Amino acid sequence: MSIIAPDEEILTVGPLEVAPAEHLARGGGQTLNLSARELRLLAELARRTDRIVSREQLYELVWGRPLRPGDRSVDVYVRKLRVKLSLALPEWSFIHTHFGFGYRFAAQRRRVVP
């Protein structure tokens, strides 16, 4: 029995676990070292697994204000997340681009190069 009771929300997407309330994400036998924004973005994506989320929607969810035209913040943070996720789980890919629409979060085994 643990001292603190984590009755908190835990999002499981394939081999990845995201616990926004605990400020952390686990995968590949390790705890990912994510910044505040990165974790927030990951959580919002994980909450919408298998659905396409537009940049505008993502920005409002994570930043809490409307996306200004020309703002590439979402793209930049998607990249940061992709790097850290593939570092912890090299055989998996999670953030899939849907050209012209947005991103879709889903655990997918990466094609192995022979």
Q: Give 16 or 38: the residue with its C-beta nearer to DNA.
A: 38
What is the size of the binding site for its own copies (CB under 8 A)? 24
31 three-class SS: strand
Q: Say which entry of DNA, its own copies, none residue 50 contacts (CB below 5 to 8 A, set by partner kind).
A: its own copies
Question: Counting contacts by CB under 8 A, is residue 106 touching its own copies?
Answer: yes
Distance CA 74, CA 59 (A): 7
Question: Counting contacts by CB under 7 A, is residue 37 touching DNA?
Answer: yes
Distance CA 17, CA 10 (A): 7
What's the 3-state SS for 49-83? Answer: CCCEECHHHHHHHHHCCCCCCCCCHHHHHHHHHHH
Question: Counting contacts by CB under 8 A, is residue 4 touching its own copies?
Answer: yes
- 82's CB contacts (< 8 A; 6+ apart) are 93, 94, 95
Q: Give 24 or 67: the residue with its C-beta nearer to its own copies.
A: 24
Binding site for its own copies (CB under 8 A): 3-4, 6, 22-24, 30-31, 33, 35-36, 47-48, 50-52, 96, 98-101, 104, 106, 108
Which residues of this protein are in contact with DNA, per CB under 7 A? 33, 35-38, 55, 63, 70-73, 75-79, 82, 97, 99-102
